[in-house]
Structure 1
């Protein structure tokens, strides 16, 4: 085998390995790479209740699915109830909430952080779209400052349970939904 034919053989192997991935990407298939958050458009509505996100205070959420769909949520309780749902079967590329140390509570925009990296304040006096909510923060220190000012307990994502984000009230004791 000459050097030239050896190079062609490597090129054929490379093409054979790369072609299926290239074809899948052309068909709209997604890889397991986490998808970046997308700022909701004006008038965007909540996946669960149809409420307009911009009409309510407090942190919002979004889930980016592997099929390309993005679902928005007007409250962290709604977002986390879906994220922690044991029967969730759609592949999630990324789930995000907002860093409320940087976003305006009354009209939050931008400052998206990964749900699993956030610290949450449960039981504060600040309310979201559905009443009591979990305030979200990128840094524990910011969550602790918020908790001292507005009450509540700081929890990392790993300590949030499905019972805490039940949509029938859970630990927030909100029976409004």
Structure 2
């Protein structure tokens, strides 16, 4: 009988380890997929009120305790987030990975964490109003676009309100 209990306890332990690993794997799902983010034709930009899908290029989304706020561009999202009342660590920031999306119709399956993204400014690509920031997960893809267009690669910590040129306009808009 002891062999049966020993064998059964080993099988049970193995099953528990497998369940724990499966649970850990679920925690590794892409964060944007967990947040259920998608940009729909009627969605309006949280900052400017324009219809988000009317513009080419990457979009942005901020997910926090207050819900999801969607933006027509990474620049609009970052301009909002850089305001002191919105600049919180618990807000998750997402942008489209343009290394895996078409510029005219970014794929919501390729949203990435903006805190780890590489942004190209000055590419000459058309986007929403204001500064156009092309966002990438791959530094080589960002560098290639910058090299090909005369743009410059930036990280999130390089971007401020002055660079975005929206400090005055952003502070007067409601949130």
Would you call these one fold, judging by a TM-score over 0.5?
A: yes
**C-alpha displacement at 1:64, in angstroms?**
0.7
Cα distance change, pair 165–37 in 1 and its aligned pair in 2 (3 A): farther
- Give the Cα separation in 2 of the matches to 1:60 and 1:115: 11
Cα distance change, pair 55–87 in 1 and its aligned pair in 2 (3 A): same
Q: Name the residue aligned to 2:77.
A: 79
Q: Name the residue aligned to 2:50.
A: 51
1:134 is aligned to 2:136 = no
Cα distance change, pair 116–91 in 1 and its aligned pair in 2 (3 A): closer
Of stretches 138-147 and 37-46 in structure 1, the one that deviates more from structure 2 is 37-46
Gaps of 5+ in 1: 1-32, 171-177
**C-alpha displacement at 1:55, in angstroms?**
0.9
Q: Is the 8 A contact 1:63 1:92 kept in 2?
A: no
Q: Spell out the pairing of 1:22-101 with structure 2 (5 A cutoff).
A: 36=35, 38-67=37-66, 69-88=67-86, 92-101=90-99
* CA RMSD across the alignment: 2.4
Q: Is the 8 A contact 1:37 1:96 kept in 2?
A: no
Flag the structure with higher helix content.
Answer: 2
For the residue of structure 2 that corresponds to 1:128, the secondary structure is coil
Q: Name the residue aligned to 2:15.
A: none
**C-alpha displacement at 1:66, in angstroms?**
1.1
Give the number of aligned pairs. 137
1:143 is aligned to 2:142 = yes
- Give the Cα separation in 2 of the matches to 1:153 and 1:90: 27
Cα deviation digits, residues 14-38 of structure 1 (max 9, x gap): xxxxxxxxxxxxxxxxxxx996351
- Give the Cα separation in 2 of the matches to 1:123 and 1:147: 8
For the residue of structure 2 that corresponds to 1:97, the secondary structure is strand
- Give the Cα separation in 2 of the matches to 1:102 and 1:118: 13
Q: Is the 8 A contact 1:77 1:133 kept in 2?
A: yes
Cα distance change, pair 90–132 in 1 and its aligned pair in 2 (3 A): closer
